Structure 1
Amino acid sequence: MTTTVPASATPMIARQAIINHLNQVVGYELFNRSRAALQHTAASDVILVFTALSHAGSEDIIGTKLLFVNCTHESLAGGHLDLLNPAQMVLEIPSLGHTASEEVSARLPILAQLRAQGFRLAFNHSVLESAYAPWLQLADFIKLDLSVLPPDQLAVRIQYAQRHSKAQLIAEKIETQQHFETASRQGVQLFQGYWFARPSVVHTKLLQPAQANIIELINLLRLQASTESIEEVLKKDAGLAFNLMRLINSAGFGLTREVSSFRQAVMFLGLKKLFRWAALLLTATRDGGPPPAICQTAVVRGRLMELLALQADMSEEQADQAFVTGLFSLLDSMLPLPLAPALALVTVPEAVSSALLQGEGPLAELLALAKACESSDDVAFHLAARSLQLSSTQINSAHLQALAWTDRLADPL
């Protein structure tokens, strides 16, 4: 992915409900409402979906309903679709305008491939025209625009669709009770429009990693570096770590089990998908985000806690959890959210959650000790050291190692 998008392209996302005849929400259509989205392009498609997956706000855009996403034909071949859960996604395929049948046939293989992968396809009522006959059998949904279809044409198209396809019909642009009754009487059972709900806007938020770290990750992935090398890059940037854990545990990614460590995330995602994710992240992030000092403090804290856990004879798994605890302990400073809802955006082990939110367990003691090292709080330092049975020499040595390690990560040369 080489497309670059300006900073202002990070969108405000709007959702509009699609409901059934029982007034139950079955899905949402996503819209890009940012000023940058004046044109619908392949790049804007990618940014819209990526931002919805990575959104770090208190409202979950993705949820568990079907997501209807407008696509361009160019974006259908984009690697970002590999990062989605096909079972949840409906790709809205645009018509080609007044086009020759050869063009329709030329697009058929990629549409068939997407459907074979599990994506559902939606088309507007143009798919009922004879020129689009090759696409009709692939249609899972057909949208009927009541703002342009008079009642007599609507009836003809509904009858044709019911005879020649298995697609569910969606009456869109429903703005009056009469629109609803007209479509409903003729057998349409899915509806979308202002009569039911206007699009609701979500001001999206991304926790932005340093672009230099994203580029380093991309270069490692190009070289097919080891899992350990990739994990090291994730460890040095809280934004990278948070975004990856946010993505891989989202409903939109479709995993059946929770992932709670960076190593697991790398193994589950694989180098190819991880490369695509990093490229998308590079495209979507912009200058700004949390101050670098906060991010550096989080990394130092995580490394210090990891080293102290090993000094305290904890297991390697507990040491990994100690690093995650330290790294994510400042999420509330990085995001405009309190710590509990910020932490709820990612999946962490129960021990990490207990330490951060309840101040309980050995990880909480390590966190208290790390904070005492930062603030030079002698009383807290000695209380935590005594509880963990660590000497001042061990702690000070680990602190120096953590600082040196973080400095090396920031300036590997």
Structure 2
Amino acid sequence: MGSREPLTPGAADDAASHTFIARQPILDRDEKIVGYELLSRADETAEHAPVVHTRESDSILLFHALSNFGADTLFGDKDAFVNCALDALDGDHLELIHPERMVIEIADGCPPERIAEIGARLAALRERGFRLAGGGWMLDDAFRGWLPLLSHIKIDVRNLDARAAQRLLGMAALHGKLRLVAERVETREVFERFRELGFHLFQGYYFQRPRTLGTKSISPAHGNVLQLMDLARREADPSAVETVLKRDPALSFKLLRYINSSGFGLRCEVTSFRHAVMILGYGKLFRWLAVLFATVSANSVPPALARTVITRGRLMELLALKLLPKEQCDNAFVVGIFSALDAMLGMPMEKVLGSLSLPEEVTDALLERSGVFGPFLELVEACEGGDFDRLGDLALALQLEPYGVSEAHMSALAWTETLGV
């Protein structure tokens, strides 16, 4: 395993900001976790969402869940219950997620004059495959038309007597698969009482208070996000989109983590930027970028660190072109540009890669400097550090001329300069 030059001290703190999301488990009658409700948090000590639900706050929560944490980290193979304001039910952010394991929970009441309008939005979501949940207020006569669309009704059981519970269960039984969720279950006695009555799912402090999870997230440059939005809007050639992604490691990291997240619902692994753009399509890419822009902090990756990893990526790509099949050169670039994610995020590389689905040969190179790309990365780092003795040995081991490696390095540096980083 080769030595690694330490990158700029403090770079991680400058490059990363913290994002927090709380989750509370939802359990079945056998006390097995079947899902998590995801909740916004301003910081690690906050006990409540920082704002009331709005179209913007709901979209930002979903973006953080998929692009900063990753669906696998937050809810794994369970369902995710996500609150949604009435005015966000037709929001673009819902285009960014795969409906298979998402339960959209309507977070507030609905005025009588909007019942038909909101009902149509719920029907459209159900048609797309989302499951829908609501509060006990949806059992009022005015909302009976919505009940066939719902999969869950959440009931605050703190002051619910047995007779009222039986009436609710009877109404749920009339609508087939509608499941009643007992909320605010705070003692074993309450859980057992409503389980015996026939409630299907349970949530409350007895099982677990909402637990806040935090992660460091690196922010791409505003200018790159805006440029990509313009390219997506104009449906530019994919190579132009790929060029912008290649000059912003934070942006490319978020995109690959998002598109490979289980919440996206993709059945194959995406590792190249061009493939990611083609899979997403320009419409969905634009929506993802719009939400990203709303969440970008003032702190992006320090320019010096960005230039370092971009040059690494380009040099890896140039060297790979000399020895490897063309289809592997994209992965060589990914290895180079992601080789300092640990420094950017201030956490071990193993933990970073746990949230990003990458081919084994890429992770082997990043973690151990082994596999197909490991020797290339070691060579690039030696070239970068001016270790000419080691550079010569590593180049010869790959059957490359040291002079040719130095020439490729100069070309990579020049290429990075053309990007304006």
Amino acid at match of 1:403: L
TM-superposed deviation, 1:309 = 1.7
SS in 2 for 1:255: coil
Separation in 2, partners of 1:11, 1:359: 30
SS in 1 for 2:413: helix
Whether the aligned pair in 2 keeps the contact of 1:368 and 1:380 (CA below 8 Å) is no
Output the aligned Cα RMSD: 2.0
Cα distance change of structure 1 residues 352 and 129 upon mapping to structure 2, 3 Å threshold:
same
Which residues in structure 2 correspond to 1:183-332 (within 5 Å)? 183-310=194-321, 312-332=322-342
TM-superposed deviation, 1:168 = 0.8
* Aligned counterpart for 1:89 among listed residues 81, 89, 102: 102
Whether the aligned pair in 2 keeps the contact of 1:11 and 1:48 (CA below 8 Å) is no
Whether the aligned pair in 2 keeps the contact of 1:55 and 1:61 (CA below 8 Å) is no
Separation in 2, partners of 1:10, 1:76: 28
Give the match for residue 67 of structure 2. 54
* Aligned counterpart for 2:91 among listed residues 73, 78, 97: 78
Whether the aligned pair in 1 keeps the contact of 2:72 and 2:261 (CA below 8 Å) is no
Runs of 4+ that moved beyond 4 A: 56-59
Q: Tell me which moved more, 313-322 or 118-127.
A: 313-322
* Aligned counterpart for 2:344 among listed residues 329, 334, 340: 334
Amino acid at match of 1:91: I
Please report the TM-score for the alignment, with normalisation by the length of structure 2. Answer: 0.90
Count residues with an aligned counterpart. Answer: 400
Cα distance change of structure 1 residues 294 and 60 upon mapping to structure 2, 3 Å threshold:
same
Q: CA-to-partner distance for each residue in 1:68-101, whole Å, 9 max, x for gaps?
A: 011101111111111111011000013535x32x
Cα distance change of structure 1 residues 345 and 166 upon mapping to structure 2, 3 Å threshold:
closer
Give the match for residue 52 of structure 2. 39
Q: CA-to-partner distance for each residue in 1:93-147, whole Å, 9 max, x for gaps?
A: 13535x32x4211211110010010100001111111000111111100111113
Amino acid at match of 2:407: S
TM-superposed deviation, 1:20 = 0.5
Cα distance change of structure 1 residues 330 and 19 upon mapping to structure 2, 3 Å threshold:
same
Whether the aligned pair in 2 keeps the contact of 1:52 and 1:62 (CA below 8 Å) is no
Give the match for residue 135 of structure 1. 146
Please report the TM-score for the alignment, with normalisation by the length of structure 1. Answer: 0.92
Give the match for residue 365 of structure 2. 355
Whether the aligned pair in 2 keeps the contact of 1:249 and 1:255 (CA below 8 Å) is yes
Task: Indicate yes or no: 2:76 matched with 1:66.
Answer: no
Whether the aligned pair in 1 keeps the contact of 2:65 and 2:71 (CA below 8 Å) is no
Give the match for residue 390 of structure 1. 400
SS in 1 for 2:172: helix
Cα distance change of structure 1 residues 64 and 128 upon mapping to structure 2, 3 Å threshold:
same
Cα distance change of structure 1 residues 335 and 59 upon mapping to structure 2, 3 Å threshold:
farther
SS in 1 for 2:134: strand
Unaligned runs of 5+ in 1: 1-8
Cα distance change of structure 1 residues 56 and 105 upon mapping to structure 2, 3 Å threshold:
closer
Give the match for residue 160 of structure 2. 149
Whether the aligned pair in 2 keeps the contact of 1:13 and 1:203 (CA below 8 Å) is yes
Separation in 2, partners of 1:58, 1:74: 24
Separation in 2, partners of 1:223, 1:58: 30
What percentage of residue pairs aligned between the two structures are identical? 43
Amino acid at match of 2:24: Q
Amino acid at match of 2:42: S
Unaligned runs of 5+ in 2: 1-16, 44-48
Separation in 1, partners of 2:380, 2:34: 47
Amino acid at match of 2:59: V
